Amino acid sequence: MSDKSLRVYFTTHHDGRLTGQLLPVWDSFFDKPPPSAYGTSEPEVLSLLETQVRQLLREDDAAIERFLWEEELEARTITVEIHPQTVHKKRSVISQALIPLRLTYVYGRMAGGAWRVRVPRFDWSFVVEDLSIARDVLQNALSTALLGEKPKGLYDFRHEGEEYVRAWDPLGARREVRGGARRPPPPEVLEQVGEELTSRALGGRQPALVYDAEAMREWLELAQRRPPPSLLLVGGTGTGKTSHVSMLARRIAERRREDKTVHLPDIWRTSAERIVAGMVYLGMWQERCLKLIDALSHEEDYLFVDRLTSLLAPQPDGSSIGDLLLPAAMSGEISLIAECTEAELERCQRRFPEALRPFRVLRIEPPPAARMPELMQRYQSVRRSRVSIHPVGLRQLVAHLDTFQRDSLFPGKAFRFLDWLEQQGERGQSRTLYPRDASAAYARYSGLPLQLISDEVPAERQTLAAQLQKGVIGQERACELAAGVLARFKAGLNDPDKPVGTLLFAGPTGVGKTELSKQLARTLFGDEQRMIRLDMSEYMLPGSAQRLMEVGPGITSLAERVRQQPLSLVLFDELEKAHPEVFDLLLGILGEGRLTDGLGRLVDFRMTVVCMTSNLGVVHSEPAGFGAERGAEDFTRAIRQAFRPELFNRIDHIIPFRRLSEADVLRIVDLELEKAASRAGLLRRGLKLVVEPDARAWLARHGYEPQLGARPLKRLIEAKVMAPIAVRLAAHPELEGVLLPVVVAGSAAERGLRPEYRALATLLDQPVT
């Protein structure tokens, strides 16, 4: 292997003169023709070429890199035979005769052992595994290109005289290019499906990275092998598998700057989704994969394919991308980098053991929590953050992340929090976070209330129960039991390998079971939108449980939603209606805090609160009327009989709900009217609802049904109160800043209304049927 220098291809003509042309290492569509000269001797030709080379360097000193060769080239001449065109019965046909053509090509052995072949006459270039097949390749290519050519046209390709190649270094040394040597333009297929990480690192376009220098030294040694071995990075979510690949790309770029003679691969990042993007017809994505293999076998670069499971997932036609790429990796033709978790690796070892053969497994372990304050400080320093965190605050943040974000591992979850923190506040403003500020910042980041995560803020069980009772009327005992789960969470005494809490709400319809779930989501996560509600009547049929585990673009299954937001409340509404297959999935969720999705990936449920509702125990011979109720033992007995013991024993609390009293319904009326009065249309106009006591009683009496509870109340208020007001406001948009009375038709309150309010009054006469 030689130092890089130019290669001049000489052609001797019949008159003894010479043509010399610089041989390019690569060609791209917009490149200018290579410098060439015509003279009576080699020195004359080289002198003319040197003038052109100097001019080329003045225009762009990086342009010469296209003509700098590492390989020692030699020329070889072969004879190929072509079937020319002839005329038979006034028709042009391909003749059975053969015309021999003398063809010269140049070749050189590459670093990985393959052979680079170039045909200057046709500007062809290709790489072969063994030089012995070059003749056959050229015979086939030339026969195809010139098949049926007129004999006169074939004369232009005749062999004039000796053709040979010379190494040449007119400037005495290879030109240095700022930032290192420019590599040849990549094949088009690589640019279509991927991004080149090494050049991004060279240009400073990668994010700040904190890495282990010793581990990177080992990885760099692996990358220097020819060909580089395929790597499988194994680690949990957040350990930095993808970041390690970016670190390797940066070290490759730095190593090239240190030693411009070292040969290291580029790293192309892609994914299964990007490879098949736009491939709509049969065979298109397979053809793209074959082009990728061809391009990578020539370049000896790494292809980072992201997740191994996506590579092995079947495409619509039944085959997978791995069916094409992995055999090429096994033969050493291409080098891959993939990543997976330990659970995914175990699954692949059982189902696809052959898929793991090409890879060298590199495990990435998360750093211990005790080391994270130091790593977080280094990360802040590398990215020149304007936010400084007090050492005690750093330890507090690590404790919060370790306790409340168990779906991800260090250091990733800590670095993501620091990235979020950098975006808060005014841009460019420096600030310091002290311990209490750090806890408040994490509360905003996670949605968890400060009183539940900070030891400096007390949260008594009675206080938490009172917060729940603001939205749940008449269920004081249920709210106290649910508050106990919140208190256990604040104290950090919940089982770390199970959901935060598993609650089954048992009771009649319309007494607040779903509302307590919403209130729990508001109290625990700050937003009722964090509640994932699943109606089990939609999962009654065999096979419907699979919908809970589906993954893919546009799918909003339980697995996808919890993966996107692990801090959430999951409500299984009317659990007894679900198919037994759903109960099988619940055993894993309630017992181990995890669910396996359709691709075999684990979804972490350890930071969720699982609530279930059931009407068991109230569907038969239930007493009617206000306040009639069954004992908690009746609900527990009915639930124990309906569910398997292994499922029943995984439930933390069975919380009974009693029927609502008349006073409870009146309070619910007030609550719903308060919500209605806060609607934007009324607030914008300064309008205020005034509901008379007899109207409140009327709404409570007609909005409650023994079998449906208070559920009809909302519909009644919409129909009898809000709908008439909406009609009046649509007809009189000028109404502003007045009172809107709500009274019972024919009551003393209606008769006592002043004339100016009588026209604005809403009369309650007949209930909704």
Structural tokens at position 199? 């050049």
Q: With helix as H, strand as E and coil as C, how does 1-59 read?
A: CCCCEEEEEEEECCCCCEEEEECCCCCCCCCCCCCEEEECCHHHHHHHHHHHHHHHHHH
Fold of 662-764: Helicase, Ruva Protein; domain 3 (1.10.8)
| Mean pLDDT for all residues in the chain | 87
Q: Where are the alpha helices (DSSP H) in 163-271?
A: 188-193, 197-202, 213-223, 241-258
SS3 108: strand
Residue 358 gets which letter from DSSP?
A: T
155: pLDDT strictly greater than 60:
no
pTM of this prediction?
0.69
Q: How far is CA 106 from the centre of its chain?
A: 47
CATH superfamily of 484-656: P-loop containing nucleotide triphosphate hydrolases (3.40.50.300)
CA distance 755 to 253: 85
Is 484-656 the same fold as 188-363? yes
- Could you identify the residue written with the tokens 């307590």? 516
pLDDT value for 700: 94
CA distance 609 to 566: 10
pLDDT in tens, 479-517: 999 999 999 999 989 999 999 999 999 999 999 999 999
pLDDT in tens, 421-464: 988 876 657 888 998 899 999 999 999 999 999 988 899 999 99
Place 721 in a pLDDT band, splitting at 50, 70 and 90: very high
CA distance 212 to 268: 22
CA distance 687 to 695: 19
CA distance 413 to 406: 9
Contacts of range 152-156, beta carbons closer than 8 Å, 24 or more positions apart: 154/82, 154/84, 154/99, 154/101
How many Cα atoms occupy the beta-carbon half-sphere of 172 within 13 Å?
A: 0
677: pLDDT strictly greater than 80:
yes
Q: How far is CA 349 from the centre of its chain?
A: 24
pLDDT in tens, 114-142: 899 998 888 888 899 888 898 888 888 88
Q: How far is CA 599 from the centre of its chain?
A: 14
pLDDT value for 44: 86
CA distance 494 to 452: 13
Q: Are strands 531-535 and 569-573 parallel, antiparallel or unpaired?
A: parallel
Structural tokens at position 716? 């009644």
CA distance 573 to 503: 12
Residue 112 gets which letter from DSSP?
A: T
Fold of 188-363: Rossmann fold (3.40.50)
Q: Are strands 99-109 and 609-614 parallel, antiparallel or unpaired?
A: unpaired
Task: Lowest mean pLDDT of 313-317, 402-406, 535-539, 620-624, name the range.
Answer: 620-624
SS3 166: strand
Place 532 in a pLDDT band, splitting at 50, 70 and 90: very high
20: pLDDT strictly greater than 70:
yes
pLDDT in tens, 45-99: 888 888 888 888 777 767 788 888 888 899 888 888 887 777 777 677 777 777 7
pLDDT value for 183: 54
Q: Average pLDDT in the 284-306 region?
A: 90
287: pLDDT strictly greater than 50:
yes
List Cβ neighbours of 454 (8 Å cut-off, separation of 6 or more). 436, 439, 440, 443
11: pLDDT strictly greater than 50:
yes
pLDDT value for 621: 41
SS3 599: coil
Place 206 in a pLDDT band, splitting at 50, 70 and 90: low
How many Cα atoms occupy the beta-carbon half-sphere of 764 within 13 Å?
A: 29
Q: Where are the domains of the chain?
A: 6-168, 188-363, 369-453, 484-656, 662-764
Neighbours of 688 (CB within 10 A): 12
pLDDT value for 177: 38
Q: How many helices (H) and strands (E) does the chain have?
A: 31, 28
CA distance 305 to 230: 11
pLDDT value for 619: 57
